[in-house]
Amino acid sequence: MSGSFSFNDDERLRVTTPITEDQRPRTVAESVMEEKRVTPEERRAAGRDLRFAAPRSSHGEWTAAPDRPDPVSLLVEQTRDRVPDLVPIRFGRMLDSPLGFLRGSAIVMASDLAGTPTSGLGVQACGDAHLLNFGMWATPERHLFFGVNDFDESHPGPFEWDVKRLATSIVVAARDRGFVDADQAFAARAAALTYREKMLEYAEMGFLEVWYSRIEVDEVMRAMRMERDGLKKAERKGLKKAEKAVEKARRHTNLDALSRYAEQVDGHWRIKVEPPLIMRDSDTERLTEDLAECFAEYSGSLRVDGRELLSRYRFADFARKVVGVGSVGTQTFVLLLMGHRDDDPLFLQLKEAHRSVLEPFTSKSRFDHHGERVVTGQRLIQAASDSLLGWLAGPPGMKDCYVRQLRDMKGSADIETMLPPDLIAYAELCGWNLARAHARTGDATAMAGYLGRGNSFEHAIERFAVAYADQNEKDYEALVSAAKCGRIEIEEGV
């Protein structure tokens, strides 16, 4: 008996399992009103049966196919619909290191993952679950949570693709830090082990309990402090760094951003220009009118509380902003809105949304608007979303867009200062969050049945991560060669 990915009539990704016809994909109404329910035992057994088609050990396989697409060609093709002047900055950032390359090459890894064994168990995937796309963020209630914080590539896909990208990024980051091979592999295995163990826990919970589960930063920090006395010296240093990162995130408020990104000019607040990363548009007046028209659609995409909050603010200024690595070249604006006082700013980020890198290898998106796709992915994956998260059709010259707060108590780990124990602890935290996200949108019981209680899965993910980190280094060198021969143009140090 086996299972596989297939598509139903509206081309949405679903999972086929060796169970009865009663388990065909149903509408929400059919699902709710159907009296017969599939038991946890049946779902768990279905997950176990999927091992026949895709043994857990098969996820450790990676060998580049003879007809593997040229990675540089994939990256160049992806820049066709990006701002030409910014593309050299993107390639320059990718050439900083193999880790920088991995961050910008989600399309390459998605293409490669499409040729690997799949379990047949789908989730709302992050699509770009590298370790730097996890971090801290604030809920509307001002609680600080930890989780995935980038959803540009979110799309239905196999759960193991996210796990493989996370584990690979951990190995690549460990190499960047100069860790020995054993520490690289152990950190990747720790992420996959935690993922499996947490999925087993989620499989025992009710749907509501899974849906409302979350990783509160304060609880994580309390647990770390309780273990302080038993920690080694290096681990105590890691705790201090974590405490500083949390405090830094708490300071990342809209008011704090006002002094960082804006200044008063002739009695009005204006965004500071920092070429080439923050630039004012040459036709500001026209673009301002275009944005004003677009905001009606954005407001309509918000929930009622978000619309009410947004209505209290008035537009002050905007500028183009270069962000991230993989996102460089997409059109992005930082918008400044002001309340009725000078100490009441609101910074928003308006960002262009393109097709997910997963879509060509899975299923056609059920959303015609990619901004809505990104927003929906975030709302499904995160425990609680930004009240001002919404989408809109961009101004002329831009594609689908989405809007979120720019700097609302957001924080990330400082990978560059981590020691092996720090990276291992962080890998476990990321693995935990990924399991929580997947349990919300997938079948946690079937996934638990597939993963099992043995260690086959995490050892396979470890092998894949090490092998693909080697591939990533080869691809990085290919980009270096492309820059040297003039095939691509780069702008370094930006």
Amino acid at site 206: G
> What is the rounded CA–CA span in Å between residue 479 and residue 484?
9
pLDDT at residue 341, as a whole number: 92
* pLDDT at 172 > cutoff 50: yes
Mean pLDDT, the chain, as a whole number? 88
Question: How far is residue 429's CA from residue 214's CA, in Å, rounded to a whole number?
Answer: 12
- Strands 144-148 and 134-138, sheet pairing: antiparallel
In angstroms, rounded to a whole number, what is the distance separating the alpha carbons of residues 213 and 166? 21
Does residue 233 carry a pLDDT above 70?
no
Looking at 227-357, list the stretches that DSSP marks H as alpha helix, in order from N- to C-terminal side.
Answer: 233-251, 254-261, 284-301, 304-310
Rounded CA gap, 148 and 144, in Å?
13
Work out the average pLDDT over 234-256.
Answer: 80
CA–CA separation, 70 and 482 (whole Å): 11
- Where residue 157 falls (left for φ over 0; alpha for ψ -120 to 50; beta otherwise) is beta
Reported in sequence order, the residue ranges of 48-121 that DSSP labels E, i.e. its strands, are none
Report which of 425, 118, 461 is spatially closest to residue 245, judged by C-alpha positions: 425
- Structure tokens belonging to residue 461: 């993910």
Rg (CA), the chain: 23
Q: Give residue 217's pLDDT.
A: 85
- Contact predicate 338/344, CB 8 Å: yes
Nearest to 404 by CA among 138, 165, 203: 138
Contact 435, 202 (CB under 8 A): yes
Is a pLDDT exceeding 50 seen at residue 296? yes
Mean pLDDT value of segment 90-106: 97
Residue pLDDT, tens place only, 405-425: 987 778 888 889 899 999 999
Residue 311 pLDDT greater than 50, yes or no = yes
- pLDDT tier, 13 (very low <50, low <70, confident <90, very high otherwise): very low
pLDDT number for residue 114: 96
320-364 confidence digits (pLDDT tens): 899 888 888 888 999 999 999 999 999 999 999 999 999 999 999
Q: Which of 121, 22, 115, 110 is nearest to 74 (CA)?
A: 110
- The whole model's pTM is what? 0.90
Determine what percent of the chain is predicted with pLDDT higher than 90. Answer: 66
491 and 92 Cβ atoms separated by less than 8 Å: yes
Sequence-distant contacts of 389-392: CB under 8 A, at least 24 apart: 389/302, 389/306, 390/298, 390/299, 390/301, 390/302, 390/306, 391/297, 391/298, 391/301, 391/353, 392/294, 392/295, 392/297, 392/298, 392/301, 392/350
Best CA proximity match to 1, nearest among 25, 27, 22, 20: 20
